[in-house]
Amino acid sequence: MREWLKRLRKERGLTQEDVASKSFINRAFYAQIENGTRNPSFEVARNIASTLGVSSSVFFTNELSAPFEIALKNSDMVIAHCDLELRYTWLFNPHPDFDTTESLSKRDDELATNQGIVDLMALKQEVIDKGIKIKRKICFPLSDGEHCYFVFGEPLLNENKEIIGAVTASMDINDFN
């Protein structure tokens, strides 16, 4: 089940029929994609993503190659996409305080409230508003103490080079001297 897809569709006030029609597929096929029993082709994923205002990469990020996924899982790196409303559309390797499935379709300020959250949201909004890459050190109070991250953000673009959100890569730098 692609709960994230269902949540995105509902947040945008769309029915399965609406998404299917705007994505040039039939409703039954869309339902199978949403339920996880079928995978979309690249073209269909691109059409659905365009309809929902997200990057089509969200359909294929679970298909990371094993060495790449292992390397990222064993690093202190968090990678995420958000839409124009700063709602997560994909999140990989977050701190244990955050459940990936619970975080999808939510804004940072719906998950926690602290100065780090305020600073992260400001970075993402600036990336979207100005269409530029930004790097910043941001610190968060977490359950196991304060963690400082080097956060890199850049605009997330669709196939037409329009900004549809932001992508961030954040590296925990607490262990660096």
pTM equals: 0.72
pLDDT at position 68: 59
pLDDT at position 112: 92
The size of the chain, in residues, is 177
CATH 3.30.450.20 in the chain, residue ranges: 76-172
Q: Are 34 and 9 in contact (CB under 8 A)?
A: yes
pLDDT at position 92: 84
pLDDT at position 2: 84
Label each residue of the chain as H, E or C.
CCHHHHHHHHHCCCCHHHHHHHCCCCHHHHHHHHHCCCCCCHHHHHHHHHHHCCCHHHHCHHHCCHHHHHHHHCCCEEEEEEECCCCEEEEECCCCCCCHHHHCCCCHHHHCCCHHHHHHHHHHHHHHHHCCCEEEEEEEEECCEEEEEEEEEEEEECCCCCEEEEEEEEEECCCCC
CATH 2.40.50.140 correct for 3-59? no
Each residue's pLDDT expressed in tens, for the chain with a length of 177 residues: 788 889 889 988 999 999 999 999 999 999 999 998 998 998 999 899 889 888 777 777 655 555 656 666 667 889 999 999 999 988 888 888 887 777 878 899 999 999 999 999 999 999 999 999 999 999 999 999 999 999 999 999 987 899 999 999 999 998 775
CATH 1.10.260.40 in the chain, residue ranges: 3-59
CATH number listed for the domain at residues 76-172: 3.30.450.20
pLDDT at position 17: 97
